[in-house]
Amino acid sequence: MCGRVYLKTNLEGLLRAFAFAKRDGAEGLANQMPRFNGAPSQYYPVIIRDVIRDDGVMGPVFIAARWGLIPGWIKERKPGQPAPINAKAETIATNGMFRGAYKSRRCLVPIDGFFEWKDIHGTGKNKQPYAIAMKSGEPFVLAGIWETWRDPGTDEDIRTFCVVTCEPNEMMATIHDRMPVILHPEDYDRWISPEPEAADLMKPFPAELMTMWKIGSKVGSPRNDSADILDPVD
């Protein structure tokens, strides 16, 4: 699964790195970046295909969306009802929770890296956290899907998203049985295109382009959000 990410790049740097997308929709997140220990339920800058000109032309645009998908067809959420943070590539096209968004509301989730925990003894009690990123050190993109849900209590439209996961590559398989779907730059446009099917893009990213390292237990609490979370440990 993918349940924690980091964005050490501030918002302005992130917008420059993905300058093909119109930036206006994410400006409100400027004071929330960088974020060294990003968790579900927080808002993130994601890229969708939306109307960007008065003449109705569609194009990539940044928006702010909350991590944890709430389908638009849900009328009312029960207190404490969880919002899925991941969608499996193998079932995303058939699962009623995700299939509508997969067909018409896919998004790009730019990050600098993510975290995963290795179950050291197979008991679930002792886990070693790892940070995972690109060898180049550059920001990259996770495949996501998004929805707009209207809160009946406030009549507010809330945009939400979740991250697509797939089988692990050789590197990730040493610590976990899943990994987020990472997209190559040449596939960004197709992933957020109106094309209803993109199954061939949901596959493990090449391990040779990635790196990972052990980090300390401080990452375990989302309340900890400082740069030293990324410091390697022996």
pLDDT bucket at 28, cuts 50 / 70 / 90: confident
CATH topology of domain 5-230: hypothetical protein yedk fold (3.90.1680)
DSSP code per residue over 189-204? HHHTSS-S--GGG-SP
Catalytic residue, chosen from 12, 90, 116, 195, is 116
- Give the domain ranges of the chain: 5-230
- Dihedral of the CA atoms 215, 17, 159, 201 (nearest 10)? -80
pLDDT at 25: 75
pLDDT, one tens digit per residue, over 56-90 is: 667 899 999 999 999 988 877 777 778 999 999 99
Annotated active-site residue 186? The verdict is no
Catalytic residue, chosen from 2, 107, 162, 166, is 2
Annotated active-site residue 2? The verdict is yes
pLDDT at 56: 67
169 is written with which tokens?
A: 């590559």
- Residue 103's nearest CA partner among 87, 119, 114, 117 is 87
**Contact by Cβ (8 Å): 80, 156:** no
